[in-house]
Structure 1
Amino acid sequence: MIRRAVLLAGLALLGLGAWSDAPPPWEVLREASTIEMSVRAFGGSHRGRFEDWRGDVAFDPDAPSRTRATIVVQAGSLKMNASAVTGRAIGPGFLDARRHPTIRFQLRSLESAGGDRYTARAEVTMKGQTRPVTFPVDLRVTGDRAHLTGAFTLDRTDFGIGTSGAWNRMVGREVTVRVALQARRL
């Protein structure tokens, strides 16, 4: 029993040591942040906004390359600018929110591009498919607040979104995702 307690205590200390090397956690301020998307369809541009998501961020302003973030979006929370389009966008032919309720964004690193500009390297998972994305972001840090903005483009067919039926020909393959995140150092 004593040997087991010592072993558990040792493992706990090792875990704490590993955590101390991680960048400090930040709280994403959802009320000041947005995740939006746009796609060309039916001769025009259609925009949408994800209303339900959460984010976990570990960030050190002095070592941005160690930044890690996970954003989990509820696919069914997408609200399109034309409400008649919302049901189709989250339905079985596109996001299929009932069978695939979450979209996951996993930031792996930020690489300095000079000043407040960075290159983000991440992975996006939708409908069981994971694809890498690399895109420019602006990141400003003022005191205990950080504000990140950026956008990337995905090919919806890489994720099996809208790949069959008549709608496939009427909706553009490129989907642009725009993020504006604010966070506070914990």
Structure 2
Amino acid sequence: MNRRHLLICALATLTPRPGFAAPTPYRLGAGGATITYTFMLNGAPVKGSVPISQADLRVDPDNLAASTAVVRADVRRARTGLIFATEALKSPSVLDANTHPTASFRSTRVRLGPGGRISDGATLDGDLTLRGVTRPIRFDAGLFRARGSAAGDFRALTVMLKGRVDRRDYGATGYADLVENTVGIDIVAEITSAG
């Protein structure tokens, strides 16, 4: 059984059920959360990361469409595997980390897949703020229970988000001769119920 099949099986249990309850607050788990970004530098892919510094998460496993997220990241702690690329990334012409040290995301809508299931291709819409500029973004979304947990046990969850942005939309136009404009964003967060 491959990893994709295991993930789909885990997600299949997270479907809306009758008797909706209010969304439960969740906090980042012991494994934390990482934003990984990928961009093309002179024709070669480069990956980097930014730690999530704060998260206000509310999840309702009985009504996933009512779930919300507000997440902040400290772009001054952004890293790549190349020191010169890291410094360029934080420079005034790209992320301008000294003037705009915080990036943020606020969800606006959860769209469940066909049949009202997150395992059928859910998306998370929201507003992403970089360099003080806010634009809408859409992530492909996945949510699954901790491995080995019981079917109704939602105390520990893993959130997986995947999206793309055009850095020009946020005024991050520096090094255009070396860096492509599309940046991939992947977020993996372990969260635990705080309620």
Category of TM-score, reference length = shorter chain: 0.7 to 0.9
Report the equivalent of 2:125.
Answer: 121
1:85-125 CA-to-partner distances (Å, cap 9, x unmatched) read: 11110111110000011101111222211353421111101
Distance apart, 1:33 and its partner CA = 2.5
Moved more, 83-92 or 107-116: 107-116
1:158 paired to 2:169 = yes
CA contact (8 A) 1:52 1:77 kept: no
Distance apart, 1:32 and its partner CA = 3.9
Quote the Cα distance in structure 2 between the aligned partners of 1:98 and 1:135: 27
Quote the Cα distance in structure 2 between the aligned partners of 1:81 and 1:136: 26
Report the equivalent of 2:44.
Answer: 44
CA contact (8 A) 2:33 2:51 kept: no
1:140-170 CA-to-partner distances (Å, cap 9, x unmatched) read: 135211111121000000000025xxx1122
Give the % identical residues: 21
Q: Judging changes above 3 Å, is the alpha-carbon distance between structure 1 residues 92 and 120 closer, same or farther for their aligned structure 2 residues?
A: same
Matched letter for residue 128 of structure 1: G
SS of alignment partner, residue 31 of structure 2: helix
* Deviation beyond 4 Å, 4+ runs, structure 1: none
CA contact (8 A) 2:110 2:122 kept: yes
Report the equivalent of 2:10.
Answer: none
Distance apart, 1:22 and its partner CA = 5.1
Distance apart, 1:31 and its partner CA = 2.8
| Larger Cα-atom Rg | 1
Quote the Cα distance in structure 2 between the aligned partners of 1:115 and 1:24: 18
1:30-59 CA-to-partner distances (Å, cap 9, x unmatched) read: 634221101001121111111352211011
Report the equivalent of 2:188.
Answer: 180
CA contact (8 A) 2:34 2:52 kept: no
**What's the TM-score once normalised by structure 1's chain length?**
0.81
Quote the Cα distance in structure 1 between the aligned partners of 2:181 and 2:82: 19
State the aligned residue count: 163
1:71 paired to 2:71 = yes
Greater fraction of residues in helix: 1
* Runs of 5+ unmatched residues, structure 2: 1-20, 147-152
Matched letter for residue 134 of structure 1: R
